[in-house]
Every structure is written in C-alpha cells, then in structure tokens.
C-alpha cells in the first residue's frame, strides 16, 4: 500500500522567514496531494492541494510543488507569521485497486517565533 513520509517532524522559524515541509510517497499511481493545517484543539483544515498533472500551485504565501519522477512534494510558506504556527499534514491519494485511499504523513509541528 501507499506510504507517506513527512519531514521534518518539528520546524522552528523566525517571523518573516520561509518554511519548507517535504513529503515522499511510494505509490506511483498516487494522483492527488492535499495539505492540511491543524490548529490546537481543532480538526485539520485543507490549505492547498495539487493534482498529478500539475507541477506547482500557489495561493498567496503558500505554494506546493510536486515531482512525480522523484515521488515527492513540498509545502512552502513564505513570510511566515505567528498565526502560521500549527501542525501540518501532507497526504496522498492512490488510484488503481486502492482507488481514493488517502494516506497521511506523520505531521510537522511548525512554530513561528515573533
């Protein structure tokens, strides 16, 4: 089955710096890659997603890149702010016989220091 590895597990940056979180996946049939942000005491919320026919997607300060050959995708947050502090999860959806199966990474705790 699909395996999603996420790094780093914790990330600490100064306000205004950039933050990058990386994920690798194992199933070459994976075709949908969402990123979720989870604030303390709340459920995860989608912040950006990318499909396998696109290499990069940007939404204001957040961008995601996908390298299908290397089977990895990354979340980039620029000009970080304290409110970006949260747990971030990547995920990958497989096709084939496991159609629509979403597998999550282990999560990254991002702390943005003012």
Partner 1 sequence: NAGVTQTPKFRVLKTGQSMTLLCAQDMNHEYMYWYRQDPGMGLRLIHYSVGEGTTAKGEVPDGYNVSRLKKQNFLLGLESAAPSQTSVYFCASSWDRGRSPLHFGNGTRLTVT
Residues found near partner 1 in the complex (CB under 8 A): 4, 6, 9, 31-32, 34, 36, 41-46, 49, 51, 89, 93-94, 99-102, 104-107
Cβ 112 to partner 1 shortest distance, Å = 21
- Which CB atom, from 11 or from 102, has the smaller least distance to partner 1? 102
Six-digit token string for 79? 């000009």
- Which CB atom, from 57 or from 101, has the smaller least distance to partner 1? 101
Cβ 52 to partner 1 shortest distance, Å = 10
Residue closest to 13 by CA, chosen among 73, 61, 69: 61
Q: Is 80 strand, coil or helix?
A: coil
- Which CB atom, from 2 or from 13, has the smaller least distance to partner 1? 2
CA distance linking residue 66 with residue 24, whole number of Å = 10
Residue 16, phi-psi category: left (phi > 0), alpha (psi -120 to 50), beta (remainder): left
Cβ 104 to partner 1 shortest distance, Å = 4
- Which CB atom, from 18 or from 28, has the smaller least distance to partner 1? 28
Q: What angle do CA 98, 55, 11 make, to 5 degrees?
A: 85
């Amino acid at each position: 089955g699909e395996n999603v590895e996420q790094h780093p597990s914790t990330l600490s940056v100064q306000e205004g710096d950039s933050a990058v979180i990386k994920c690798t996946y194992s199933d070459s049939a994976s075709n949908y890659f969402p990123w979720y942000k989870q604030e303390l005491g709340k459920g995860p919320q989608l912040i950006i997603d990318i499909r396998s026919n696109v290499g990069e997607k940007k939404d204001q300060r957040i961008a995601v890149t996908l390298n299908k050959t290397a089977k990895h995708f990354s979340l980039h947050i620029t000009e970080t702010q304290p409110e970006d502090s949260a747990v971030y999860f990547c995920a990958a959806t497989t096709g084939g016989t496991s159609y629509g199966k979403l597998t999550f990474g282990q999560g990254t705790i991002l702390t943005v220091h003012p």
